Amino acid sequence: MKLLVFAGSTRTGSWNRKLATVTAGMARAAGADVTHLELGDFDVPMYNADLEAQGTPGDVMRLKEITAAHPAWIICTPEYNASYPALLKNTLDWISSPVKGDPAWSDGFRSTRGKVVGVLSASPGALGGLRSQSHLVPLLFNLQCWVAPKTFALARAPDGFDAGGGLVNEAARNSVQAVLDQVLWAAGRLQDQHRVKEV
């Protein structure tokens, strides 16, 4: 199963980037074909329809292709002011915007439709980013994603990682694994259904 893992942050010491790294490693250990995406590697401007009318930026097209190619995603979202960050919203806005005149990408949902998405978060606070998740999930539904019922929020994140970047708490590792298992299982089932329909 091809799994895309990314965090909605570019900050050097981001807890959610750490969580994404741990999650990607666990997914590889489970046999998934993992792409660990760093949004900071892409030059994506703030979404602007006037800018888009001049041509969709090249790195946006790269993101569209990458996200479209992965049936399963894990998103690790920070919590800013009780919601998800602008970086994450901007990324999802761009990849879901149709490319006018392009026969393949004129479908704005091509990159998002039918993806099985697991939502994780990490925060220094006691809720671990749950409020961010509660805002992100409806957006993912609007993008026609399947969202895994299991989620995980790592509270008091500065104490949650060891010196090597691993999760300290076994219960936290088990919770991440439970989300991974559900996403990979559901994405596999959906792919099986698509194969049956094609036959």
Residues 175-185: tens digit of each pLDDT: 999 999 999 99
Is residue 108 over pLDDT 80?
yes
User: Domain segments of the chain: what residues?
Assistant: 2-198
Answer whether CATH 3.30.470.20 is correct for domain 2-198.
no
pTM here is: 0.95
Nearest alpha carbon to residue 93 among 43, 142, 135, 161: 142
Q: What pLDDT score was predicted for residue 198?
A: 66
Token code pair at residue 163? 């010196």
Q: Which residue has the higher pLDDT, 28 or 191?
A: 28
For residue 174, the SS3 value is helix
Is residue 199 over pLDDT 80?
no
Give tens-digit pLDDT for 30-84: 999 999 999 999 999 999 999 999 999 999 999 999 999 999 999 999 999 999 9
Q: What pLDDT score was predicted for residue 191?
A: 87
Q: What pLDDT score was predicted for residue 197?
A: 66
Mean pLDDT of the 138-167 span? 97
* Share of residues in the chain with pLDDT > 70 (%): 97
Phi, then psi, of 85 in degrees rounded to 5: -80, 160
* DSSP 8-state assignment for residue 46: P
